[in-house]
Structure formats: C-alpha cells, structure tokens
Amino acid sequence: MNKTTENPTKQAYEVTKKDVRLAWFRWYFSNAISHSFDRYLGPALLWALLPMLKKIYPDEAERRAAYERHAMFYNTQVSWGGGTILGIVASIENKRAQDVAEGKDKEEINELSELILNTKTGLMGALAGVGDSIDSGTILYIFIAICLPWAQKGMFIGALLPCLLMASYQAISGLYFSYLGFNLGRSAAAEIVGSRKMKGIIEGLSMLGLFMMGVLGASYVKVESLLKFTISGKEFVLQDIFNQILPGMLPLVVIGAVYLYFIKKDMQVTKALLGLTIILGLLAAIGLL
C-alpha cells in the first residue's frame, strides 16, 4: 500500500461567496467599534474573518497564527479599502489553507503568510485615499445637496436621508469590492485604481461632486453688499451693480478665497472659519457687507 493511500490528503474547506458576504457585513458593522491606538481597526478585521478562518483551519495552531496575522495594526477606508482588501485576503487565506491541507512546502506557505501581511500593509493606505476622496469628499456631499432643501424646510427626512443613503451606498459598494477582491486576488487593486472604466467612474463622480458644490455655493452661501452712494443726485446700490455684472459675485469671491486658502494651508478648516468670521464681521461693521 502506497503512502498516499495510507495518509489521504485532508481537503480544506473551500471559501465561498457566502463566506465573503458574511465577512463583509461583519466588517461593515464593526469596523470602527474596535478602534484603538495600537491596533486601530485590526480587531474588527479579525472578527469579520473569524467564521471563515475557523472553517478553513481545523488545526488549532494554524487558526491561532491566522488570528495573530489579522489582529495586527490595520487602518483603511470602510468600503473601497476595507471591502477590496477583505476579499483579497480571503482569497489568499483560502489558497494558504489548501496548501496546508495538501502538505505543501513550509517555505511556500510562509510566503503566502507574508503576502497576506504585505497586501494589507501595501494597499490599506492607497485604497483609503481613493475611498476617502470619493465617498467622504464627493458622494456624501451629493446626498447632502439633494436633501438640503428638505432640511431647510424643517423636514426631518432632510437630516436623516443623507445618512441612510450613504450607509446603503457604502454597504452595496463595499460588498461589490469584496467580491471583486476575492475573484481577482491582488490584481483587484489594479482593477480599481488603474482600469480605464474605474478611472472614468471616478472622474465622473468628481465632476458631479464639483457641480453639486457649485450648486450649494450659489444657493446657500449668502453674501451681499450694503454699500450705497449717491452721484449727481442718483443713488447707486453696489449690490445691484454686482447683480447686473455677475449674479452671485460676492459668494463666488468668498468661496474662491476659501478654496485658495485651503490649497496653500492644507485644509486648516478651523483657522479658515475663524478668519472668515473675523473678516466678514469687520466688513459688516464698516457697512460694506
């Protein structure tokens, strides 16, 4: 009787999309709960992967090693980074578990362990930058702009709906990225950041976000001049002159000045608000605004 017959290979559990979906929603609902100084979101990632790791690693020592890999420092954006990396990690862990079950060379298995750690370390910052700029910097403000008129009328839905829309959007997009990461492995990051299709989506969202910011600025930033003067017995109102030249000129000047300040001072929001309040207050005190 040959060796293979005496010691049949024990097949590891095969990770399915159902496992990835469960891991994603566990991550989605817990990612900020475990936030700590030394590990940041690492415990949340471990909790998300826990059911999967228990299935693919029947050996207690292997499970413990997997827990240590994913309890380490980890920090990224919830959907673009968190979803994609979660899917990639699930794919690599699945391959590693299969290699362990088949008795592959330990050096190859250790290389996969290093690959998991390097994947998280290398992608979490890059994908977080993309996710923050799109979700927090564009999508969220589009939802706010849509619902702002209702909020101004005192309708509670105007305050509640942007939160619900944002939560739903991130849940759906993050699940998509989790599946993408699981199916494509490490190439998923290139698909998100480098593909022509995704670049077109990102550019389109950025343009839409700028458009919505312009709408918000024109509609809700109110700056008017109170200055009046009389020439040859005829009264001139400075604001009426501005309205004839370019309606909304003063709000545009204020928004442009704040934007230039952010470019030079790197988004020092508190200083910008204080400075703008002081400047507008002084101009109002002397009767210009």
Residue 216 covered by a domain: no
- Say if residue 60's pLDDT is above 80: yes
**Range with the largest mean pLDDT of 168-177, 231-240, 263-272:** 168-177
Q: Are residues 196 and 231 in the same domain?
A: no
Q: Are residues 133 and 254 in the same domain?
A: no
Please tell me the predicted confidence (pLDDT) of residue 9: 45
Compute the mean pLDDT over every residue in the chain, rounded to the nearest whole number: 81
**Domain total of the chain:** 2
pLDDT tens digits along 22-47: 999 999 999 988 888 888 999 999 99
Q: Which domain-ending residue is among 154, 176, 208?
A: 208
Residue 217 covered by a domain: no
Alpha-carbon span 86 to 63, nearest angstrom: 17
Q: Are residues 146 and 278 in the same domain?
A: no
Q: Are residues 143 and 239 in the same domain?
A: no
- Say if residue 8's pLDDT is above 50: no
Q: Are residues 202 and 229 in the same domain?
A: no
Q: Which domain does 97 fall in, by range?
A: 3-208
- Say if residue 133's pLDDT is above 60: yes
Alpha-carbon span 135 to 201, nearest angstrom: 13
Q: Are residues 114 and 231 in the same domain?
A: no
Q: Are residues 149 and 253 in the same domain?
A: no
Q: What are phi and psi of 234, to 5 degrees?
A: -110, 130
Residue 182 covered by a domain: yes
**Placement of tokens 């604001």 in the chain:** 239
Q: Are residues 201 and 73 in the same domain?
A: yes
Alpha-carbon span 252 to 7, nearest angstrom: 77
pLDDT tens digits along 137-148: 788 888 888 888
pLDDT tens digits along 182-210: 988 755 555 555 556 656 655 665 666 56
Residue 214 covered by a domain: no
DSSP reduced 3-state for 236: strand
Residue 215 covered by a domain: no
**Placement of tokens 């060379």 in the chain:** 105
Q: Are residues 90 and 203 in the same domain?
A: yes
Residue 218 covered by a domain: no
Alpha-carbon span 55 to 249, nearest angstrom: 63
Q: Which domain-ending residue is among 151, 173, 208?
A: 208
Alpha-carbon span 154 to 248, nearest angstrom: 25
Q: What are phi and psi of 32, to 5 degrees?
A: -100, -10
Distance of CA 191 to CAs 47, 95, 115, 199, Å?
A: 27, 21, 19, 10
Residue 11 covered by a domain: yes
Q: Which domain-ending residue is among 208, 236, 256?
A: 208
Residue 177 covered by a domain: yes
Q: Are residues 180 and 110 in the same domain?
A: yes
Q: Are residues 73 and 116 in the same domain?
A: yes
Distance of CA 143 to CAs 34, 72, 269, Å?
A: 28, 35, 22
Please tell me the predicted confidence (pLDDT) of residue 7: 41
Q: Are residues 172 and 278 in the same domain?
A: no
